[in-house]
């Protein structure tokens, strides 16, 4: 039931509070949280006290607030992403060992790329594609793979825009994106430099699930000056095939070596 001046329900306001936390600001004061969630301070105080009582928000010794472990616990129960990560992790370790950079696993969620796992080289300067980070579909190699194997109706919806230019090289022309989507379906992989982070190249392949529907995108992120696509793609294909079979996909896989 909505009982706020804006007509927002209690659940909507709680979601706004929890969504205010991010990697750059994982904890904050009550007033800062209310401001970021665009809620009156009194409303935020009342809701936060309930969330603290249930363990969904923790209050630190200095008084700042952060998401509680109870939130992680509830989210992890029965999570498809958690099962996917557990299956994919051994195969991703093989990819990361081969490329010595980043291996990521991403899914399509609410119209954007959501990274659910990342293995990284400890000395890499890349500060992107973190777990639980989102990217626009058209601005990430993983996103283009997810989009390429989605329904034509969903593709039309995404390409109707607006398409944000994350970097100078982000694809924003719907016709050009359609061309790349067709190439991805034909080749089974994509390798585009600079579309999400200027200095890096994402090389991504599809991971299939039951019925051979798209389940995820497996991606290697490497410095664009060192992007050895013919070397990286076979490692990704082998890992993606193993993950797909473990998820229950048929033996046929759309990806092939360059």
Q: What CATH number has the domain bearing residue 96? A: 3.30.450.40
| pLDDT over threshold 80, residue 82 | no
In a shared domain, residues 228 and 115: yes
Assigned domain for 255 exists: no
- Identify the pLDDT of residue 44: 94
Average pLDDT, rounded, for the chain:
89
Into how many domains does the chain fold? 2
- Identify the pLDDT of residue 23: 78
| pLDDT over threshold 70, residue 103 | yes
Of residues 242 and 161, the one with the higher pLDDT is 242
Cβ pair 200, 89 in contact under 8 A: no
In a shared domain, residues 213 and 155: yes
In a shared domain, residues 165 and 138: yes
Of residues 88 and 120, the one with the higher pLDDT is 88
Instruction: From residue 39, give the alpha-carbon distance in Å to each of 9, 15, 23, 107, 245.
Output: 12, 12, 21, 31, 47
- Identify the pLDDT of residue 126: 72
Cβ pair 186, 193 in contact under 8 A: no
Assigned domain for 54 exists: yes
Distance from C-alpha of 239 to C-alpha of 40, rounded to nearest angstrom: 49
In a shared domain, residues 138 and 236: yes
| pLDDT over threshold 70, residue 253 | no
Assigned domain for 150 exists: yes
Phi-psi map region of 138: left, alpha, beta (phi>0 left; psi -120 to 50 alpha): alpha
Using the 3D structure, point to which of 75, 101, 128 is the last residue of a domain.
Answer: 75
Assigned domain for 254 exists: no
| pLDDT over threshold 70, residue 120 | yes
Range from 5-19, 33-47, 69-83 carrying the lowest mean pLDDT: 69-83
Assigned domain for 101 exists: yes
| pLDDT over threshold 60, residue 257 | no
Q: How far apart are the first and last CA of the chain?
A: 55
pLDDT interval class at 1 (50, 70, 90): very low
Range from 26-35, 127-136, 156-165, 204-213 carrying the lowest mean pLDDT: 127-136
Distance from C-alpha of 249 to C-alpha of 245, rounded to nearest angstrom: 5
Q: What string of DSSP letters covers 15-39?
A: HHHHHT--SS-S-B-HHHHHHHHT-
In a shared domain, residues 122 and 227: yes
Q: What is the mean pLDDT of residues 169-195?
A: 96
In a shared domain, residues 106 and 66: no
Assigned domain for 220 exists: yes
Range from 73-77, 95-99, 106-110, 152-156 carrying the lowest mean pLDDT: 73-77
Assigned domain for 1 exists: no
Domain region containing 140: 80-247
Assigned domain for 205 exists: yes
Distance from C-alpha of 245 to C-alpha of 252, rounded to nearest angstrom: 9
Q: What is the mean pLDDT of residues 5-21?
A: 86
- Identify the pLDDT of residue 2: 44
* Residue 47 belongs to domain with CATH number: 1.10.10.10
pLDDT interval class at 4 (50, 70, 90): low
Bridge-based pairing of strands 57-59 and 112-120 is unpaired
Q: What string of DSSP letters covers 224-252?
A: GGG--HHHHHHHHHHHHHHHHHHHT--S-
In a shared domain, residues 232 and 200: yes
Using the 3D structure, point to which of 60, 75, 90 is the last residue of a domain.
Answer: 75
- Identify the pLDDT of residue 78: 60
Distance from C-alpha of 98 to C-alpha of 93, rounded to nearest angstrom: 9
């Amino acid at each position: 039931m909505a009982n706020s001046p804006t007509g927002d329900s209690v659940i909507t306001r709680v979601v706004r509070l929890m969504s205010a936390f991010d990697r750059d600001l994982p904890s904050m004061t009550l007033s800062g949280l209310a401001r970021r969630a665009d809620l009156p301070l009194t409303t935020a105080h009342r809701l936060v006290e309930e969330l603290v009582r249930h363990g969904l928000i923790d209050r630190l010794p200095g008084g700042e607030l952060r998401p509680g472990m109870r939130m992680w616990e509830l989210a992890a129960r029965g999570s498809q992403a958690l099962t996917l990560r557990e299956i994919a992790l051994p195969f991703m370790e093989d990819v990361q060992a081969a490329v010595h950079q980043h291996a990521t696993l991403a899914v399509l969620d609410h119209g954007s790329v959501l990274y659910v796992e990342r293995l990284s080289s400890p000395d890499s300067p890349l500060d992107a594609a973190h777990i639980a980070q989102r990217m626009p579909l058209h601005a990430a190699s993983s996103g283009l793979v997810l989009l390429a194997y989605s329904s034509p109706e969903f593709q039309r919806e995404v390409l109707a825009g607006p398409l944000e230019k994350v970097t100078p090289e982000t694809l924003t022309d719907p016709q050009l994106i359609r061309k790349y989507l067709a190439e991805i379906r034909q080749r089974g992989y994509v390798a585009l430099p600079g579309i999400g982070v200027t200095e890096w190249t994402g090389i991504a392949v599809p991971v299939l699930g039951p019925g051979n529907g798209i389940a995820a995108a497996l991606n290697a992120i490497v410095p664009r000056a060192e992007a050895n696509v013919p070397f990286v793609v076979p490692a990704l294909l082998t890992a993606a095939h193993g993950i797909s079979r473990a998820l229950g996909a048929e033996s046929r896989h759309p990806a092939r070596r360059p």
